[in-house]
């Protein structure tokens, strides 16, 4: 309903012109805001997704019978609490369509993931095919390879190097 009203306001504005006294400026701004394409703050969305994934895995939450609990009373077998090892795979598009600003933004996000998580981080540079995942501990360990054709398809269709799997 709002979109239909905003379109009608825009049509009336273009038909009658933006002259003085034809339409309140606030109404014209409202219509322009309603019809403007939504801008998704991708860095914020990415940070939230990584934070959620790491926070969901943090802590000693799984019971394991591999080793008995050493704090259990004598003669009583209790499981130990274990924390899963968290691994984060970052995929960086290094195709020719990525400019220097885009690659700088990707490296900035990689630096933030390395700094804020205690997880094992692997970086995959993707061009027409995925490179071998490389474990990194700091941003200086990241080597951007590629620079040719872009990937056609989603992450699930990547051709992983032999013996490597997504985690």
Q: Give tens-digit pLDDT for 22-73.
A: 778 788 888 888 888 767 787 788 778 777 776 655 456 778 888 888 888 8
**What is the average pLDDT across 133-139?**
90
Predicted confidence band of residue 158 (pLDDT cuts 50, 70, 90) = very low
More confident residue, 20 or 57: 20
Domain spans in the chain, listed from the N-terminal domain onward = 2-17+25-35, 40-83, 85-167
How many beta carbons lie within 10 A of that of residue 58, not counting itself? 14
Res 28: pLDDT: 83
156, pLDDT greater than 50: no
| Average pLDDT rounded to a whole number, residues 99-125 | 85
Burial annotation 98-137 (CB, 10 A radius, 16+ → b, else e): beeeeeeebeebbeebbeebebebbbbbbbeebbebeebe
């Amino acid at each position: 309903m709002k979109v239909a009203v905003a379109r009608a306001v825009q049509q009336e504005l273009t038909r009658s012109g933006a002259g003085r006294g034809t339409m309140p400026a606030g109404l014209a701004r409202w219509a322009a805001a309603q019809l403007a394409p939504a801008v998704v703050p991708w860095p914020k969305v990415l940070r939230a997704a990584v934070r959620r994934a790491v926070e969901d895995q943090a802590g000693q939450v799984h019971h394991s019978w591999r080793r008995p609990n050493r704090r259990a009373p004598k003669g009583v077998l209790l499981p130990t609490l274990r924390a899963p090892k968290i691994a984060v795979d970052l995929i960086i598009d290094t195709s020719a369509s990525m400019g220097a600003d885009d690659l700088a933004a990707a490296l900035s996000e990689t630096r933030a993931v390395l700094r804020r998580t205690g997880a094992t981080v692997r970086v995959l540079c993707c061009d027409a095919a995925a490179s071998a995942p490389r474990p990194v501990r700091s941003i200086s360990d990241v080597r951007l390879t590629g620079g040719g054709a872009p990937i056609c398809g989603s992450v699930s269709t990547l051709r992983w190097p032999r013996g490597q799997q997504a985690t």
